[in-house]
Amino acid sequence: MTDISTGSGHGPSENTPAKLGYSPVADIPHRPRVADTDPRAARRAERQVASMFMLSMFFVVLFVVAFIAIDKYATVYIPVFGAVGAMNVALGFTMGVAIFLIGAGAIQWAKKLMPDVEVVQLRHDLVSPTEATNEAAANYERGKEESGFARFKIIRRTLIGAMVLFPIPLVVMLRDLWISPPGNPSPSTLLTTTLWEDGTRVVTDATYLPIRPEDIPVGGLVSAAPADLPEVQEAEHNLNARGKAAIILVRMDPAEILSQQGDGWDYQGILAYSKICTHVGCPIALYEQRTHHLLCPCHQSTFDLSDSGNVIFGPAARRMPQLPIGVDAEGFIVAKAPFAEPVGPSFWERG
């Protein structure tokens, strides 16, 4: 069983020292290539390789020409590709071909003109010779002895203690990666509060128009925000408030509302729900007005807005929080209370 591990039965002789570190495999028949036997073929290969390098240089010139000559906003129509940016295609093509040809030339050179004779090199044991191992062990023992690491018990223990404690400052300093806002609110407090309060006016997102109930027809959808969002955003220089306060307003026939999260939280069939998914926080506004389903495009959690925003499909575990709404004296839609539960993804302290 052991001596059939190589097909030919006699591997390269292991006691003849390899010249230059390797020796050709002695017992594999070798077929000369055309370029090995036919000088004309060899010259052809030589020309082939040289012309690839030559073409590469040519394409570099083309690249520079394209860089200077082509208007960066120009487009060009190429079949299959359609209308594409002329600059990008020209630069990418010329530079790509130039680089590719260097590689192709080198490989063609190696394949056709360099020796294709496989050679053999012996492997050496990775394990160190015994003398080396002994020397290492002796040095280690001597060092251990001379340092007294084993003898001075108290030094050893205090050193270990010091080594364990010294990274603590490095970790402690990471605390202020988040600089607590004034009043030191805990993360869970922040995640639980939004801009919405009793009387906050609901305005359209992006255009910030106040909304009257009659502005939303049955089947309508409005992406909305609290009226004070622009000022808050201006003052805080971030989008944090927006990320929590985004809501959608939908209107359905009141007869179609099966349940809500609180009595009378709708206004004449207009319902306000958080826009932030309770799974991992994607903003959702894929509202199907016929089925009243709200679908998250990220992980496809589906909520039924006609039934308290309950989850009917997908990975989200909690219903969409509903915002109670009414109208103010001027007839615009306002929030009647803050969100009753935290919006957005779950977190440990949420309860």
Contacts to another protein from residues 165-204, by CB under 8 A: 174-175, 177-179, 181, 187-188, 190-191, 204
Site for another protein in 225-244 (CB under 8 A): 225, 237-240, 242-244
Question: How many positions of this chain bind another protein (CB under 8 A)?
Answer: 152
Contact with another protein (CB under 8 A) among 196, 265, 273, 287: 287
Contact with another protein (CB under 8 A) among 50, 57, 99, 340: 99
**C-alpha 181: how far from its chain's center?**
29
Structure tokens at 156: 């050893």
Q: How far is the CB of 310 from another protein (least distance, A)?
A: 11
Which residue(s) pair with 36 in the sheet? none
* Cα dihedral 11→16→22→25 (10° resolution): -30
Structure tokens at 294: 């709200």
Query: What separation in angstroms does the CA of 213 have from each of 15, 267, 287?
Result: 96, 8, 19
Question: Look-up: residue for tokens 């203690």?
Answer: 161
Contact with another protein (CB under 8 A) among 205, 228, 328, 341: 205
283 is a contact residue toward another protein (CB under 8 A): yes
Site for another protein in 57-86 (CB under 8 A): 67, 72-73, 75, 80-85
Q: How far apart are CA 274 and CA 312, in angstroms?
A: 17
DSSP string spanning 235-287?
Answer: HHTSSHHHHHH-EEEEE--GGG--B-SSTT-SBTTEEEEESB-TTT--B--EE
47 is a contact residue toward another protein (CB under 8 A): no
Site for another protein in 133-172 (CB under 8 A): none
The stretch among 5-13, 146-154, 155-163, 258-266 that binds another protein (CB under 8 A) is 5-13
Contact with another protein (CB under 8 A) among 15, 16, 21, 166: 21
